[in-house]
Amino acid sequence: MLEIAILSSSLLIAQNQIPPPKFLELKNQLQKYGFEVVIELPPKRGAYGLFKPTNKKIWINPVVFDLQFATPTLIHESVHAAQFCAGKGKMQTLGLKIQPTIATRRLFLRYNNIHRQDLEMEAYTVQTQPNSFKLATTLLQKYCKK
């Protein structure tokens, strides 16, 4: 029974939510560096994406495909993956030279923990750049390369 349920839900994703080429390219790159990317509801309620450092796993909420927001979500989580590589297993800021816009600031100031805020600032700042995709792939290459 369980198998049937899983199969039909993944078919639904394949039919209605074809991932954009950039999403797939980034997903492949992440997997190459040992990250697992799953298109499932994240264990944190209401999250579009989630990165769990302990098992190098990235969740992408299937709803982002309907919202046409899949690639920015994966870009955001890729920055967290790069932070993980930079800190050699601990989350560490990358010290990016780009500044967040006022609108972007609103997105990460809600995090209370100051270290978390810095990490989120980088992820949101990259995510909102016009060249966000290129930035994310470059950061992964730079920090996660073996």
Summarize as ranges the residues that interact with Zn ion (CB under 5 A).
120, 123
Q: For residues 10 and 72, what is the distance between their CA atoms, to the nearest angstrom?
A: 22
Comparing CB distances to Zn ion, the nearer of 19 and 49 is 49
Comparing CB distances to Zn ion, the nearer of 9 and 93 is 93
Work out how close the CB of 146 gets to Zn ion at its nearest, in angstroms, rounded to a whole number.
24
Task: Show the tokens assigned to 67.
Answer: 């919202």
Nearest partner of 89 among 115, 124, 56, judged by Cα: 56
Please report, in angstroms and rounded to a whole number, the separation of the first and last CA atoms in the chain. Answer: 41
Work out how close the CB of 81 gets to Zn ion at its nearest, in angstroms, rounded to a whole number.
11
Comparing CB distances to Zn ion, the nearer of 75 and 123 is 123
Task: Show the tokens assigned to 135.
Answer: 């930035």
Comparing CB distances to Zn ion, the nearer of 39 and 74 is 74
Work out how close the CB of 103 gets to Zn ion at its nearest, in angstroms, rounded to a whole number.
16
* CB neighbourhood size of 41 (10 A): 15
Q: Are 66 and 128 in contact (CB under 8 A)?
A: no
Work out how close the CB of 16 gets to Zn ion at its nearest, in angstroms, rounded to a whole number.
26
